[in-house]
A = this chain, B = another copy of it.
Amino acid sequence: MRRRRLLAERRNARASVLLASVFALAITACKPEPSRATASQTVTSGSAPANGEVDLAADDGQWVRPAKDFASTRFSTLSEINTTNVKNLRSVGTFSTGVLRGHESAPLVVGSTMYIITPFPHFVYALDLTKPGLPAKWSYNPKPELASQGVACCDVVNRGLVFDNGRLFFNTLDDHTIALDAATGRPVWDTKVGDINLGETITMAPLVVKGRVLVGNSGGEMGVRGWLKALDAGSGKVVWTAYHTGPDSDVLIGPNFKPFYAKDRGKDLGVASWPPDAWKIGGGTTWGWISYDPEADLIYYGSANPGPWNPEVRPGDNKWTSTLFARRPETGEAVWAYQLSPHDVHDYDGINEQILIDLDIGGTKRKTLVRPERNGYVYVMDRLTGEVLSANAYGTITSSSGVDLKTGQLQYNPEKEPKVGKVVRDICPAAPGMKDWQPSSYSPKTGMLYIPHQNLCMDEEGVSANYIAGTPYVGMNVKMYPGPGGNRGELEAWNPVTGKQVWAVKEDLPVWSGTVATAGDLVFYGTMDGWFKALDARTGALLWQYKTGSGIIGQPITYKGPDGHQYVAVLSGVGGWAGAIVSGMLDPRDSSAALGFVNAMRDLPAKTTKGGMLYVFSL
């Protein structure tokens, strides 16, 4: 045995010498390509309609941020591709990203260039749309720390770049925010904003508002303290930091803070609603979506779950976790907040997208914020005050019975609260919620929200959790499984005025991709087994589909190419929390793997393979 081991060691040592010598087949760190950019584009940031509504006239056919506009509608006014001709849509080009982890990001289109970013290690490519075959103009790799992969809870994803004023901004898994010159790919600045030794990573796409690059951390399962930071777009300097636990001064709560509900009022609730010191490791991270209303001059975003998951060790509301905030972009000052899931007991992060649209509610035009929330309700709120106008279930919920519109309180079902030593069954929705990060779209033409979501329930049992910096701090055994009906996912069309489903397409697997809605009355989304689909936005009828090489969890976009024609693009590459069984090659026999998600996805490796490919379609 010993001799065999020695031989193996010698062989490996020899192989290393080999790799470094004659054949030089060593895997070296990647260097940024020398820039081959053509003339720089001086395209300005896509303008947001002043009133927060979708401005059908102002759409220039670009896609400069993942959610398309500040209102996060993901709606395009392009209509060349429509319900009649979408059957002729064809793949006109593909580009391999060279990475095989979960691809959750949205491509961007600025002028005649498409920009994409891969999961860790975050290759950024600028693709020339004026030439056939999507040739790269430049590429960039930030060389993130390898160790950051070990701190990421749920695959090493990245949710996208954002373009503003000639620059691209993105975050890295190892906690850097980086600005690149969009024309050349050269880094302009690189700011370290977090620490992987504390369990912090970053997966979210930044948003740039009024020269502030808004960035939040991930790591709610690691005892991280959540925050949102604003970096100066010019210099990369941190202008403000708003924590989501701790004293009001840290949360940037001051005299102008006016929550709508009494439950969210009080001094230093970010301390008082926790056992002593627990707020310091209490989660409330920021790995989802931010919207902006230029007229109200407010940014909107939510904080994630409290930590640890085991709720018995953290009695209290655990503010400001699972909370929706409205803040001033320039100072970070909180204007209102609404805790969606107080004392969250089921990992119902509040990080989902909020779509800013003006709706007729009971005969009155209201400036609303529509939010299909992880806890299972579509919240329609007054975005100026934080008042909940309606909150209706968009799937099966057993963990709560509704939202009290008078008090704003989520009505928990105490029978479904997990306890140490007791397995609580049939909790719906499961930990990833009725909907996780995967963003909805909204069509002002149909008045419908297109919600990609899952249909999963779970069993939970509290277990002890001990905090060691930078290690898992969860304290919950979780086992997920399909919800009622057996389908694990759904693409649902929702009328936010009536608070009712219009139609739904059941999917076998969770719908973990984003959606895009177009003026051609189409909705595009992808499935975890690789189908990219176009539905009739009014009826849900499947009009076209194409099988990409791997499961789709990316955010589709549509844009006008330099030739004046409409294109649709999406990244294919399965992974993320839902697809980690494939991208991370997890053992399907381990029900608890990926925080219990593997139990619900055992068949995924038989349905798709790892991938990383951009697909572009046109007529």
Contact = CB atoms under 8 A, between A and B. Distances in A.
A398 interface: no
B24 A598 contact: yes
Contact of A472 (B23, B125, B598, B613): B23
A550 interface: yes
A547 B608 CA distance: 23
Interface string A605-619: 111111111100000
A25 B133 CA distance: 35
Interface stretch (A10-18, A207-215, A235-243, A316-324): A10-18
Given A12-B150, A136-B606, A595 B98 contact: no
A14 B547 contact: no
B23 A611 contact: no
A607 B150 contact: no
A586 B28 contact: yes
A25 B613 contact: no
Given A531-B133, A584-B25, A97 B15 contact: no
B470 A11 contact: yes
A414 to B, nearest CB: 27
A24 B135 contact: no
A495 interface: no
A155 interface: yes
A536 to B, nearest CB: 20
Contact of A593 (B23, B133, B134): B23
A317 to B, nearest CB: 26
A133 B529 CA distance: 9
A95 B154 CA distance: 24
A594 interface: yes
A304 to B, nearest CB: 16
A56 interface: no
A262 interface: no
A24 B470 contact: no
A441 interface: no
Interface residues on A, range: 35 or more
A564 interface: no
Contact of A197 (B11, B90, B586): B11
Contact of A22 (B472, B606, B611): B472
Contact of A21 (B132, B472, B594): B472
B134 A14 contact: no
A7 B154 contact: no
Given A96-B572, A147-B12, A610-B96, A27 B547 contact: no
A610 B98 contact: yes
A590 B24 CA distance: 8
B549 A609 contact: no
A188 B83 CA distance: 51
A246 B585 CA distance: 46
A36 interface: yes
B610 A18 contact: no
A267 to B, nearest CB: 36
Interface in A280-310: none
Interface in A540-580: 546-550, 572-573, 580
A605 B33 contact: yes
A19 interface: yes
14 contacts: A15-B149, A18-B472, A24-B587, A25-B152, A25-B586, A25-B593, A26-B584, A26-B587, A36-B606, A93-B547, A94-B547, A94-B613, A98-B100, A549-B613
Interface of A: 7-8, 11-12, 14-19, 21-28, 30, 33-34, 36, 90-91, 93-98, 100, 125, 132-136, 139, 147, 149-155, 196-197, 221, 468, 470-472, 474, 529-531, 546-550, 572-573, 580, 584-587, 590, 592-595, 598, 605-614
